[in-house]
Amino acid sequence: MKLSGQAAVPFSTDPALGQLIRQHFPAADIAAGCFTAQSGLSGGSVRIALPDVTLLARRADVTPLMPGVCRRREYRILRKLAASGVAPQAVGRNPHWLLLGWQVGQVLHPDALNDWLEPLAATVARLHQQPPCGYRLTLLPLLQCYWQRSQPARRTLTWLRALRRLARQGEPRPLRLAPLHMDIHSGNLINAGGRLRLIDWEYASDGDVALELAAIISGNGLDIGQQQRLITAYAGQQQLQPDALIQQIHRWLPWLTLLASCWYELRWQQSGETNFLALAEQGWRQVKHNVA
């Protein structure tokens, strides 16, 4: 999620973080470092500016983490993607923290995404050209987890019907299996000297490349023209037929509509923030339309 907003925090509050830093940077002068909390939907992230290195620490013991989030998996995937050129460096982890290299650059402004669609397609293609990481994403158990963790009073018949329909259909057969980021939006895109880098890999897993594109399209509200540009550029990079890619994207969209609705629903139940409720209600209307 987007790392924005800053608030200084005292380092001394968490010895586990200091232990992890010393393990990987024995000569670092931690007392001279600047620890800055990063606001964002994930929560629990700290920017660490030491005299010789800048790092990002992400809490691994935040309760409750959202379904599908696992810092151990995130760390291992980032290690496997170390040479890809699209991901931050995975420095180390312990049961309490995940330690990453700080990604230098500027967070992409939402209004600028249209100008970056072709570079985005190239970045996503480069990610999808990496070997699978060994952590297969299956959406049905994830959707069932959201149902189980939701407040019983919020479990509607529409939700249940949508879940059962997708269970009967089964997930689309992958067009091509590859590592997926699964949370690509402007807040997770860094302009690093004219090249895009991806941050916030907590939902990363292996899956169908068309699922990633469907998530980008639906999550960023791309219009028809923008969708065509993204798909055409990506298909050219990956030597795929655009029509086949479009068909597969449409197969995944009902899954993503339900997943996004579940995500906003649970975030609202956890936080009480009305903007999440509004987004959840918007999603449920689309889910109802899909099952009608």
Under the banding of pLDDT at 50, 70 and 90, the label for residue 43 is low
pLDDT at 5 (0 to 100): 43
3-state secondary structure at position 50: coil
pTM: 0.92
Query: What angle (nearest 5°) sits at the alpha carbon of residue 226, between those of residues 221 and 229?
Result: 145
- Write out pLDDT tens, residues 140-149: 999 999 999 9
Give the Cα separation of 157 and 283 in Å (integer): 15
Instruction: Specify whether the backbone of 98 is left (phi greater than 0), alpha (psi in -120 to 50) or beta.
Output: beta
pLDDT at 6 (0 to 100): 52
With CA atoms as reference, report the closest residue to 269 among 150, 147, 148, 145. 150
CATH number of 4-102: 3.30.200.20
Amino acid in position 88 = P
Give the Cα separation of 164 and 58 in Å (integer): 35
3-state secondary structure at position 74: helix
- The domain defined by 107-291 carries CATH number 2.70.210.12: no
Give the Cα separation of 62 and 98 in Å (integer): 12
pLDDT at 223 (0 to 100): 97
Q: Is residue 76 packed enough to be buried (19+ CB in 10 Å), middle (13-18) or exposed (0-12)?
A: middle
User: Is residue 222 predicted with pLDDT exceeding 70?
Assistant: yes
DSSP 123-143: HHHHHHTSPP-S-B--HHHHH
What backbone phi and psi angles, to 5 degrees, belong to 81? -95, 15
Q: What is the mean pLDDT of residues 78-97?
A: 96
- Write out pLDDT tens, residues 252-286: 999 999 999 999 999 999 999 999 999 999 999 99
Residues of the chain with CATH 3.90.1200.10: 107-291
Q: Provide the token pair at 226.
A: 């923008």
Are the C-beta atoms of residues 72 and 96 closer than 8 Å to each other? no
Residue in the structure block whose two tokens are 């969209």: 253
* CA 245 to each of CA 91, 203, 280: distance values in angstroms, whole numbers, following the listed order: 36, 22, 28
Contacts 24+ apart (CB under 8 A), 216-223: 216/120, 216/124, 216/184, 216/185, 217/249, 218/253, 218/256, 218/257, 218/260, 219/183, 219/184, 219/185, 219/256, 219/260, 220/113, 220/184, 220/185, 220/186
pLDDT at 63 (0 to 100): 61
Scored b (16 or more CB within 10 A) or e, 180-217 reads: bbbbbbbbbbbbeeeebbbbbbbbbbbbbbbbbbbbbb
Residues of the chain with CATH 3.30.200.20: 4-102
* CA 8 to each of CA 37, 107, 260: distance values in angstroms, whole numbers, following the listed order: 6, 20, 32
Amino acid in position 241 = Q
pLDDT at 3 (0 to 100): 36
User: Is residue 1 predicted with pLDDT exceeding 80?
Assistant: no
User: Is residue 8 predicted with pLDDT exceeding 90?
Assistant: no
pLDDT at 36 (0 to 100): 86
